[in-house]
Amino acid sequence: MTETRHDSSTGLTTLGRCLIAAGLASSVCGVALDERDLLRIGVLVMVLPLLAALFTSRIRLVVRVERELAATRMTARSTTEAVLSVHSRGRLPRTGLLLTDALPDVLGISPRFFAHPPRRSEPPVELSYPLTPLVRGVHMVGPLTMRVSDPLGLADYERELVGRVPLTVVPRVTPLSGLPDGFGRGEGESGSTGLRRGPGEHDALVRQYEPGDPLRKVHWKSTARRDELMVRLEERPWHGGVTVLLDHRGHAHRGKGADASLEWAIELVASVCRHLITHGRRVTLVTENGVTLSNGRDPEALLDALALLRTSNQPGLICPPASGGELFAVLGAVDPGTVRPLVEGAEGGHGHAVLLDVAAWTGPDETRPKTGVAAASRAFTEAGWSVLTGRPERGPDRVWNDFCRRLPVRLGTGR
């Protein structure tokens, strides 16, 4: 991105203002004492900063800077590079240029470069610095400003060269392995819905008999009704999908920055959702207030939605609309009363919950949660849910492996 701004500011430095004050005092003393030499010195001292300011403001300095980010979308805690190409044409002060590219705290310290721009016939000067965002979100890089001062440091000149550009940082995704048998397909022991069948035989799918079809597949009621041989179609499992619920209530989490319990929960959700989508499952990501963040099989859209997520002030949990699939909930600090809507709203009592032990993320200046995970875990277990516990030292892969061990596992099939 290249953008040259004409808004600039020129002013005297502290040294320049001090010299003017000293020169004025010397001039007044020279007049009062009738000392011409002292008056000349005072005038010289006053004029020198003014000449420096005039010189700095009139320098025909033409600078063009191009900023290029190696990636405008990246994963938290990974590293990319920003490259600045500096071109110049015209008269340049001997002191060179001070370039500063402003960065938010989550991207690190704003880099500063002291450079001597090349002449018109010389190749551009290449400057680079790394970017390692620790926290997901959309962060602004820039603006890039240039500062020029006179050789004596009496006046300086500043201009904005390049504006701000967004850098999208999505949550980290931990590779997972294994998949419980039937999870998200509506079949198998872990599925919550089984095969989707109609209420009676007349809803069976049939077609005309073709030579070679086994007689055991003949649907005799349809054959009698239509007076021709009809065979039953193979019933296919209904892909009910998985609804993943993320609790991002501010009061239900502890910790700050990249090490907060909310960031741990988001990383777990991102890893599970991507793993399920990779294995052909349809994933619906919802929040604790019932808002749908992503729906379908596009993992990149899901990660972008998580990158923009902020904490909410929702007091309790709302069970997402019944979609026929399974519910996988990642929850912060909860109690039996808070989880009751999920228990009552889940179909058939088949649900899965990861309860964060947020006390492990509580800092010295934060209040500890009133309840732990034991009471909520007992309420879920009594309702037939599978329950897991999340802690800072247990990554998404360990939690997922525990989940797979509790249910029939299909490893490496990708089904």
Domain-located, residue 396: yes
Q: Are residues 287 and 149 in the same domain?
A: no
Determine the residue type at 372. G
Does an H or E element contain 68, and which? strand 61-69
CA distance 148 to 300: 44
Residues 387 and 248 in one domain: yes
Give the pLDDT of residue 59. 65
Whether residue 14 is contained in a domain is answered as: no
Looking at residue 186, what is its pLDDT? 55
User: Does 228 share its domain with 243?
Assistant: no
Distances (CA, A) of 385 to 129, 344, 351, 381: 49, 12, 5, 5
Same domain, 226 and 349: no
Place of tokens 């399974």: 326
Query: Which of 177, 110, 183 minimizes the C-alpha distance to 143?
Result: 110
Task: Give the integer Cα–Cα distance in Å for 197 and 350.
Answer: 19
CB contact at 8 A, 86 and 125: yes
Q: Are residues 322 and 212 both part of a single domain?
A: no
Residues 260 and 165 in one domain: no
Structural domain contains residue 6? no
Task: Read off the CATH number of the domain in which 121 is found.
Answer: 2.60.40.10
Can you spell out the DSSP letters for 256-318?
-GGGSHHHHHHHHHHHHHHHHHHTT--EEEEETTS-EEEEES-HHHHHHHHHT---B---S--
Asked if 7 contacts 159 with a C-beta cutoff of 8 angstroms, the reply is: yes
Residue 137 to residues 215, 259, 332, Cα–Cα distance (Å): 61, 15, 20
Whether 151 maps to a domain, the answer reads: yes
Burial class (CB in 10 A: 0-12, 13-18, 19+), 119: exposed
Which pLDDT value is given to residue 391?
95
Asked if 184 and 321 sit in the same domain, the reply is yes
Examine the domain organization and report whether 159 and 208 are in the same domain: no
For the chain of 415 residues, list the mean pLDDT of each consecutive stretch of 10.
48 84 89 88 88 73 87 94 86 73 92 84 89 94 88 82 95 92 56 36 61 77 82 56 93 93 97 93 91 88 94 90 80 93 72 94 86 90 90 95 74 38
242 with 389, same domain?
yes
Residue 148 has a CB neighbour count (10 Å cut-off) of 21
> The domain spanning residue 390 has which CATH number?
3.40.50.410
Identify residue 373 by its one-letter amino acid code: V
Q: Does residue 47 fall inside a structural domain? A: no
**Long-range contacts: 361-369, Cβ < 8 Å, 24+?**
361/253, 361/254, 361/255, 361/259, 361/260, 361/261, 361/264, 361/392, 362/254, 362/255, 363/254, 363/255, 363/256, 366/254, 366/255, 369/254, 369/333
User: Are 381 and 281 members of one domain?
Assistant: yes
What's the structural domain count of the chain? 3
In a domain, 16, yes or no: no
Parent domain of 86:
59-170
**32 in any annotated domain:** no
Report DSSP state, residue 152.
T
184 and 300 fall within a common domain: yes
What is the model's pLDDT at position 267? 97
For the chain, how many residues are written?
Answer: 415
For residue 49, being part of any structural domain is answered with no
Whole-angstrom Cα Rg for the chain: 34
Q: Are residues 206 and 347 in the same domain?
A: no
Cα separation, 233 vs 298, in Å, equals 31
Q: How much is the pLDDT for 199?
A: 35
114-120 CB contacts, 8 Å cutoff, 24+ apart: 115/86, 116/92, 117/63, 117/86, 117/87, 117/88, 117/92, 118/86, 118/87, 118/88, 119/88, 119/89, 120/88, 120/89
